[in-house]
Amino acid sequence: MDQKLAALGEALPRLLDGLWVTVELTVLGGLAAFVLSVILGLAAAHPSRWARIPARIVIEFFRGTSLVVQLFWLFFVLPLLGINMHPLVVGVLALGLNYGAYGAEVVRGSINSVPTGQWEATTALSLGPVQRMYRIIFPQAWALMIPSLSNLLIHLMKGTAIVSFITIADFTYHLDQLKRVTDTIFAYGVVGLFSYFIIALILTFLMNALENRAKRKLGQGITLRKVLSPAPMPTTPTGGAA
């Protein structure tokens, strides 16, 4: 065990560098996926065929093909067509496209889950399409979609492990190097398991905080002011004995 800890100490700087790459891929890939999710989700929920059908094609294509195939296509095929990108950019783009397609269905479903009465109210108020979506519909759908988007973000974080196939030295890559001087159980079963778990826990905490904030803005959650304010004092009738 002492030898394993010594090997871990020697590999720690490289593991931290790889962990930072994994965090970068998670954050940037998550942002790319979110932007694509909103764009495709809004288009897929649009009543016009000209917006809905192209969005459905893109969504089904990237949902129906493997993330590994998409990653390899971006990294190995595009250079043959004269398009060269940095491996980190390729990783972010592949993660964003793949998980963005899944997220688009979350956005579309959440928008369609907003009660019909809310849509009718926006019509009664004579709001335009942009105002209707921005001010009324999307804030309500946002609170509904966060839990599912949180799950997708956790899956995206775990999906970053495949970027080691395209020469990116991420956390999983350095775990594989550690395995060679220790063993599989220690490298993956101890160091890798707990490291990925901690990252997932942090992401879950942040997304839960985001969900609570969205619900508070809609008046569905308990606000901090309500929690901290003292309970009202009971009043006694005036002019009489208790």
Domains and CATH numbers, the chain: 2-115+125-226 (1.10.3720.10)
Q: What's the mean pLDDT when you consider all of the chain? A: 85
- Single pTM value for the model: 0.83
d(CA 11, CA 8): 5
How do residues 85-123 score in pLDDT, each as one tens digit? 999 999 999 999 999 999 999 999 999 888 878 777 777
Q: Could you tell me the pLDDT band of residue 235, with boundaries at 50, 70 and 90?
A: low
At residue 4, the pLDDT reads 76
Buried b (16+ CB within 10 A) or exposed e, 50-73: eeeeebbebbeebeeeebeebbbe
At residue 26, the pLDDT reads 95
At residue 67, the pLDDT reads 93
* Position 224 pLDDT exceeds 50: no
* Position 231 pLDDT exceeds 50: no
At residue 223, the pLDDT reads 37
Which positions ≥6 away from 142 have C-beta within 8 Å? 110, 214
For residue 4, how many C-alpha atoms fall within 13 Å in the half-sphere facing its CB?
Answer: 12
Least confident of 19-23, 106-110, 173-177, 205-209: 173-177
Of 199 and 132, which is predicted with more confidence?
199
